Chain A
Amino acid sequence: MRNSFYTTQFPRRDLLKAGGALIVGLNCGNALFAQEPDAVAFAAGPDQPDPKHLDTWLAIHSDNTATIFIGFVELGQGCSTALLQIAAEELDLDMSQVKSVRMETHSAPNQGGTVASSSIARGGPRIRAAAAEARLALLSLASKKLNSPLSSLAVSKGIVSVVGNPKRSVTYGQLTGDKPLDIPFTGKAPLKPASEYKVVGTSVPRKDIPDKVSGKYVYMQHVSVPGMLHGRVVRPRGQGAYGAGAKVVDVDESSIRNIAGAQIVHRRDFVGVVAPSEWDAVRAAQQLKVTWDTTPSLSGTDGLFDQMRNAKTSDKVVLERGDVAMVLGRAAHVVSETCRGPYQSHAPFGPNCALADVKAGSAQVMCSTQNPYETRGKIAVVLGIPVATVKVQYYEGSGTYGHSCYDDVAEAAAIMSQAVGKPVRVQFMRWDEHGWDNYGPAHLADIRAGADGDGNLVAYEYHGYQHVWIWTETSEQLALGTAPSEMDAGVSDTVTPFNVGGMYNVPNVRLVNHRVPGLSGYLKGSYLRSPLDISFSFTSEQAIDQLAYLAGMDPALFRQRNIKDARWLGVLNAVAKSAGWTPRRAASNLSDAKLVKGRGIAVGTHITSYGAAVADIEVDKETGQIVAKHLYGALDAGLVINPGFVENQISGMLVQATSRILKEEVTFTTTNVTSLDWNSYPILRFEECPEVTAVVVQRLDEKSSGAGEELTGPAAAAIANAFFDATGVRMREYPLTPNRVKAALARA
């Protein structure tokens, strides 16, 4: 598959003709589209397939198999298999009869990006409806062919037969031959009731795993094309403030003259090197002497939260209910705390990589973007060519967990290819990826909450401070001088009523978002798995836990008392049961021993779904070391297509949350980021990894919702609450590193 770059250039309609296809159409304005306003907005244009045609979504082949065209990308979460399960279910095909193809612009449906754990929630209904409509069309054909009414027909594995007379049968492939069916897609075909599901709701194995284990899987980092050069970016080690960029004072071209074949690409402040040999490109990038402007632009890690506290914020009351101030004034138990969460890095295990071939009038870019259509637009900007002439193909890289440097490296490859007139493969070095990431933003929170003497929550007030996400990628900013800009809305802009305190039944609530101006001396920020939720949960769930403590109640019982929603109660009870939770007041078993144990519980989510976690930890009070022994996570994500995949996601979230709450923090001086590798930005290791127990709360009668982020916050908060249980001390800032723990214990 080395040269698949060139073999997949033809439009998909030709591919359909070659493979034989069922092609159906789709009406606009139906209920499905109404659920997906973003897809509608993206839907038009000659350079992407028309979502009003069913051949945009699936094709039936003469060999009685189906290809499903999916506008979401596989990120290791299993969505490429789970979406096929939905199609196989509605089409009555076996899993071996369905496949998907590589996502690329121009031929794949534009479904607005694989973000916010929404592949199943947004992609599932469309594929389900398309498959159901295709099945209905096929049955109509079969009815004529077999001269038997629709009601007499049954389907199994794509073979349509007359009930009671199985010899009278015909396959989907025989019905379509190599001709498209060409009927409108109304979105109104009846769907199979959940009670009849045979494939959906079962843990079929992932299609990508065997090749990933054997080494046959083609990751982005493996792709090469004939005549390509290897490129590396040359930047200061570690970014300064977003907006300050990186300013070249001087490039000493003679410094790499001894590396034959190495070329410098220098466009405004963008500097890169290319060479026929990868090692030469790596060497040249390290050897090239560039003098950078090193004017301080940052607060430094230690000054960060003062800077945020003193910032001129734009404030917005997100939710105001009742009279928080008055009720807190007379509540039996009141908690008032300030908590801090650091910048954290996506830190994909393999740095991002991209390959671009820019020719006169066209460009082809292969990369690991979560949104090929959006990346296409960014590439067009840096190249100065029309969007329609840019084709972006998706190749999976290593788990990105949000907006890591995939667009940045794709732009870099495009810029270098355009400059040298050859295909260029660019892979970031470890320090590029760690140092120029779009970090999950830091968060500062003030919380006040109160309960009455019976343990009922009466008031809840949360003030969240953070800057929002960046819009301009580094390569574009450096090469074009584009002014840095921030997204003006979105998850990053707000404390959300659902994530923050929304699970509790509280009569008086005040949620205030304080938007910090991100262009005034902060790092680049963007969405990192479950954006801000660890900080929200760390703050909010510790406050709730503390109120339970002050009320003399078991923390699980306190939460049960204050939650009315059946789905929140469902996950809370499920995780408590799984962990064998025994009610008692937190911190009621304190000991003077060096090594102490604690257990904590928390609930939380990310926009959708319902999560609850329990953590068992050990704390060494002398070294300050926290060891997570066992984490339990329960997730209600509505209708779960593949419980095995969701268990894997839960397990991964529990481990990654443990890593983020205990270890991860981006560090920086006044000039640049200094956490540039796995030593300076440590993540959880094998010996530190807790045992995990994943509980999927299946809800066949509820819509599917996200399952890749929602336990991150509660898992982290459960660890913080377990620390209190073990020590009687509350932590106000994470990560809970040994030094921070020792300092907190010493203060107590």
Chain B
Amino acid sequence: MANPLTIKVNERLWPIAATADTPLLYVLSNELLLQGPRFGCGLAQCGSCSVLVDGVETRSCVTPVGSVQGKSITTLEGLPAWYAKQKRLQNPPALHPVQQALIDEQALQCGYCFNGMVIKASELLSKVPKPTEAQIRSAMNGHLCRCGTYPRILKAIQRASQTIPETPK
């Protein structure tokens, strides 16, 4: 039976088998087999499942897949290409500058929360290229980390903000 649902993820259109009320997270995980967004609370409290919907950080665990038809979803996997498009780079880098900075700072411990951390930090830097420490803390406040890696994430975001060029007009 043909299903009417189609969603655009990482610049590609995907026909979806799930019903419209299914949270986007389960579709991304189980139909598209993406490993970026992942279950954390199912309550939009932690940021584990974050994706960008038209460039806006969104909790996929409480977002019905039917509500994102016609919108552009970017996951961790699509972030370098999303960044390249934004900066009008000919080729996407292997990693978004935030991802590279997190490696440079060796910021992770278990790393499970870093999907959301990377998504949220990328959203922030796309809007505020040179954020203050207070702006970073405020933007990231809805993303939890049980390992306590916040200080290194903060440094990594500051490092990334130094390396990102101005967006072409």
List residues of A whose CB falls within 8 A of some B CB: 2, 75-77, 203, 205-206, 208-210, 212-219, 221-222, 224, 277-279, 282, 347-351, 396-399, 401, 427, 429-430, 644, 648-649, 651-656, 658-659, 677-679, 683-687, 689-692
Complex: chain B residue closest to A693, CB-CB = B151
Q: Shortest distance in angstroms between A255's beta carbon and chain B's nearest beta carbon?
A: 18
Knowing A278-B30, A279-B23, A659-B148, say if A221 contacts B38 (CB, 8 Å): yes
Task: Find B48's partner among A76, A349, A692 (CB 8 Å cutoff).
Answer: A349
How far is A505 from B106 in the complex, measured between Cα atoms in Å?
Answer: 39
Chain B residues with Cβ below 8 Å from A347 are 146
Knowing A350-B39, A648-B152, say if A213 contacts B146 (CB, 8 Å): no
Chain A residues with Cβ below 8 Å from B138 are 686-687
Pair B41/A677 contact, Cβ less than 8 Å: yes
Complex: chain A residue closest to B136, CB-CB = A686
Pair A205/B106 contact, Cβ less than 8 Å: yes
Instruction: Show 27 residue pairs from A and B whose CB-CB distance is below 8 angstroms, ordered by the A residue.
Output: A75-B110, A76-B108, A76-B110, A77-B109, A210-B103, A212-B114, A213-B114, A215-B76, A277-B22, A278-B30, A350-B112, A398-B40, A398-B146, A399-B109, A430-B40, A430-B41, A648-B106, A648-B109, A648-B152, A651-B152, A655-B148, A684-B148, A686-B137, A686-B141, A687-B137, A689-B154, A691-B151
Complex: chain A residue closest to B99, CB-CB = A213
Pair A213/B108 contact, Cβ less than 8 Å: yes
The B interface, classified by DSSP as helix, strand, loop or mixed, is: loop
Q: Shortest distance in angstroms between B118's beta carbon and chain A's nearest beta carbon?
A: 7
Task: Find A217's partner among B22, B95, B111, B148 (CB 8 Å cutoff).
Answer: B111
Knowing A217-B35, A349-B48, say if A653 contacts B148 (CB, 8 Å): yes
Pair A212/B108 contact, Cβ less than 8 Å: yes
How far is A350 from B29 in the complex, measured between Cα atoms in Å?
Answer: 14
How far is A353 from B102 in the complex, measured between Cα atoms in Å?
Answer: 26
Give the residues from 139 to 169 in chain B that come closer than 8 angstroms, CB to CB, to chain A: 140-141, 143-154
Q: Shortest distance in angstroms between A556's beta carbon and chain B's nearest beta carbon?
A: 24
B45 at interface by CB-CB < 8 Å = yes
How far is A98 from B65 in the complex, measured between Cα atoms in Å?
Answer: 44
Knowing A278-B26, A678-B46, say if A397 contacts B112 (CB, 8 Å): yes
How far is A208 from B23 in the complex, measured between Cα atoms in Å?
Answer: 30
Knowing A216-B35, A278-B26, say if A350 contacts B48 (CB, 8 Å): yes
Task: Find A678's partner among B75, B144, B152 (CB 8 Å cutoff).
Answer: B144
Complex: chain A residue closest to B95, CB-CB = A214
How far is A218 from B33 in the complex, measured between Cα atoms in Å?
Answer: 11
Chain B residues with Cβ below 8 Å from A678 are 41, 43, 45-46, 144
Pair B111/A208 contact, Cβ less than 8 Å: yes
Chain B residues with Cβ below 8 Å from A212 are 108, 111, 114
Chain B residues with Cβ below 8 Å from A430 are 40-43, 45
Task: Find B148's partner among A2, A429, A651 (CB 8 Å cutoff).
Answer: A651
Chain A residues with Cβ below 8 Å from B118 are 213
Knowing A683-B144, A687-B138, say if A399 contacts B41 (CB, 8 Å): no
Complex: chain B residue closest to A1, CB-CB = B35
How far is A221 from B23 in the complex, measured between Cα atoms in Å?
Answer: 17
Pair A651/B149 contact, Cβ less than 8 Å: yes
How far is A381 from B108 in the complex, measured between Cα atoms in Å?
Answer: 36
Contact bitstring B102-140, A, C-beta under 8 A = 1, else 0: 110010111111110010000000000000000011101
Pair B141/A687 contact, Cβ less than 8 Å: yes
Task: Find A215's partner among B36, B40, B42, B140 (CB 8 Å cutoff).
Answer: B36
Interface residues on B, range: 35 or more
Task: Find B35's partner among A76, A222, A401 (CB 8 Å cutoff).
Answer: A222
Pair B112/A349 contact, Cβ less than 8 Å: yes
Among A214, A677, A679: residue with most chain B CB under 10 A: A214
Q: Shortest distance in angstroms between A216's beta carbon and chain B's nearest beta carbon?
A: 7
Other contacts beyond A212-B114, A279-B22, A686-B154: 14, CB < 8 A: A2-B33, A76-B108, A208-B108, A209-B102, A209-B103, A213-B108, A214-B99, A222-B35, A277-B22, A279-B18, A397-B112, A644-B106, A651-B148, A687-B138
Chain A residues with Cβ below 8 Å from B41 are 430, 677-678
Chain B residues with Cβ below 8 Å from A654 are 148
Chain B residues with Cβ below 8 Å from A687 are 137-138, 141
Complex: chain B residue closest to A206, CB-CB = B106
Chain A residues with Cβ below 8 Å from B5 are none
Pair B148/A398 contact, Cβ less than 8 Å: no
Chain A residues with Cβ below 8 Å from B30 are 224, 277-278
B34 at interface by CB-CB < 8 Å = yes
How far is A209 from B41 in the complex, measured between Cα atoms in Å?
Answer: 23
Task: Find A686's partner among B22, B38, B140 (CB 8 Å cutoff).
Answer: B140
Knowing A350-B40, A656-B146, say if A396 contacts B110 (CB, 8 Å): yes
Chain A residues with Cβ below 8 Å from B110 are 75-76, 349, 396-399
Pair B103/A218 contact, Cβ less than 8 Å: no
Complex: chain A residue closest to B150, CB-CB = A689
Q: Shortest distance in angstroms between A366's beta carbon and chain B's nearest beta carbon?
A: 16
Task: Find A349's partner among B76, B108, B146, B153 (CB 8 Å cutoff).
Answer: B146
Q: Shortest distance in angstroms between B22's beta carbon and chain A's nearest beta carbon?
A: 5
Chain B residues with Cβ below 8 Å from A2 are 33
How far is A407 from B128 in the complex, measured between Cα atoms in Å?
Answer: 44
Knowing A76-B147, A349-B110, A398-B113, say if A221 contacts B95 (CB, 8 Å): no
Chain A residues with Cβ below 8 Å from B147 are 76, 349, 399, 652, 656
Task: Find A209's partner among B42, B75, B108 (CB 8 Å cutoff).
Answer: B108
How far is A215 from B37 in the complex, measured between Cα atoms in Å?
Answer: 9
Pair A213/B111 contact, Cβ less than 8 Å: yes
Task: Find B43's partner among A210, A656, A677 (CB 8 Å cutoff).
Answer: A677
Pair B95/A213 contact, Cβ less than 8 Å: yes
Pair B39/A349 contact, Cβ less than 8 Å: no
How far is A171 from B92 in the complex, measured between Cα atoms in Å?
Answer: 39
How far is A683 from B113 in the complex, measured between Cα atoms in Å?
Answer: 14
How far is A689 from B111 in the complex, measured between Cα atoms in Å?
Answer: 18
How far is A614 from B34 in the complex, measured between Cα atoms in Å?
Answer: 43
Knowing A213-B118, A677-B41, say if A655 contacts B109 (CB, 8 Å): no
Chain A residues with Cβ below 8 Å from B154 are 686, 689
Task: Find A651's partner among B35, B77, B141, B151 (CB 8 Å cutoff).
Answer: B151
- 8 tightest Cβ-Cβ pairs between the two chains A and B: A655-B148, A76-B110, A398-B112, A212-B111, A399-B110, A76-B109, A652-B148, A689-B150
Q: Shortest distance in angstroms between B117's beta carbon and chain A's nearest beta carbon?
A: 10
Chain B residues with Cβ below 8 Å from A278 are 26, 29-30
Chain B residues with Cβ below 8 Å from A277 are 18, 22, 26, 30
How far is A649 from B106 in the complex, measured between Cα atoms in Å?
Answer: 12
How far is A677 from B61 in the complex, measured between Cα atoms in Å?
Answer: 15
Chain B residues with Cβ below 8 Å from A349 are 40, 46, 48, 110, 112-113, 144-147
How far is A203 from B136 in the complex, measured between Cα atoms in Å?
Answer: 28
Knowing A214-B99, A656-B146, A686-B150, say if A677 contacts B35 (CB, 8 Å): no
Chain A residues with Cβ below 8 Å from B113 are 349, 398
Pair A429/B42 contact, Cβ less than 8 Å: yes
How far is A205 from B107 in the complex, measured between Cα atoms in Å?
Answer: 11
Among A349, A649, A655, A683: residue with most chain B CB under 10 A: A349
Chain A residues with Cβ below 8 Å from B153 are 686
Chain B residues with Cβ below 8 Å from A209 are 102-103, 106, 108, 111
Pair A350/B38 contact, Cβ less than 8 Å: yes
How far is A254 from B13 in the complex, measured between Cα atoms in Å?
Answer: 38
Chain A residues with Cβ below 8 Å from B140 are 686
Chain A residues with Cβ below 8 Å from B151 are 651, 655, 689-692
Q: Shortest distance in angstroms between A537's beta carbon and chain B's nearest beta carbon?
A: 17
How far is A335 from B43 in the complex, measured between Cα atoms in Å?
Answer: 46
Task: Find A221's partner among B18, B39, B102 (CB 8 Å cutoff).
Answer: B39
Q: Shortest distance in angstroms between A52's beta carbon and chain B's nearest beta carbon?
A: 34
Q: Shortest distance in angstroms between B18's beta carbon and chain A's nearest beta carbon?
A: 7
Q: Shortest distance in angstroms between A656's beta carbon and chain B's nearest beta carbon?
A: 4
How far is A397 from B48 in the complex, measured between Cα atoms in Å?
Answer: 13
Chain B residues with Cβ below 8 Å from A651 are 148-149, 151-152
Chain A residues with Cβ below 8 Å from B146 are 347-349, 398-399, 401, 656, 683
